[in-house]
Amino acid sequence: MSAALVVTLKGTAQSPADSATAEFERLATESGGDRVVATVNGIAITQREIDTTVIASTTADSRLSADQALAEAIDHRVLVSAALESGVTVTEAEVDSMVDAALGPLLEGKVPTETEEMIRAWFRAAGTTLEGAGESERYRTVLRDMLLTGRYVNANGGDRDALVSELRETADIEFIADPIE
């Protein structure tokens, strides 16, 4: 017999997806998320980005801490900066293809309702809607960065962790405030 694991949010037992949906909804209406907690080579990392990463990482039995989410954001920024500096490019057509691949199943109703609701809440927290995500510069940047960093890592031996470790040594990383848990 398997036991279902649940996350309790404000006294109500919820599945991890329901809990994440509720937290994304809270982020969508909360102010203060644009507080800068760090910069990498002059590019800001905000509290909202940390919060979104923490919520998105939530499963039935684990969740990233704010410090872990900040470390991931720093690693990501270091890779994006290096990719751009090395001349890696991504075309708008490639981003369009990723948008279609990512959003198509959602817009066509081919994902479970619980998953769709969580993703819709994530988009609202990011300042857009599922239907408008393809035009959202924030979402397009996320996808573009995924392509950029993937190409950069592959072109440099494929060992992401070793590459990030090396790049962190020369990156201009400034911690401005501790991320709020």
Domains in the chain (CATH in brackets) are 7-175 (1.10.4030)
Residue that is written with structure tokens 């709020």 in the block: 180
What is the pLDDT at residue 128? Answer: 82
The answer to whether residue 26 scores a pLDDT higher than 70 is no
- Helix 160-170 to helix 66-85 angle (10° resolution) is 80
- Helix 113-125 to helix 47-56 angle (10° resolution) is 170
Which pTM was predicted?
A: 0.75
Can you tell me the mean pLDDT for 79-95? 96
More confident residue, 96 or 122: 96
What is the pLDDT at residue 19? Answer: 61
The answer to whether residue 13 scores a pLDDT higher than 60 is no
What is the pLDDT at residue 74? Answer: 96
What whole-number distance in Å separates Cα of residue 47 and Cα of residue 36? 6
Name the average pLDDT for the chain: 82
What whole-number distance in Å separates Cα of residue 145 and Cα of residue 155? 15
Tokens representing 44 are 């800001």
Query: Which residues are registered as beta bridge partners of 14?
Result: 7
The answer to whether residue 117 scores a pLDDT higher than 90 is no
Classify residue 127 by burial, with Cβ atoms within 10 Å: 0-12, 13-18, 19+: middle
pLDDT tens digits for range 120-166: 887 887 778 888 888 888 889 989 999 999 999 999 999 999 999 99
% of residues, the chain, pLDDT over 90: 43
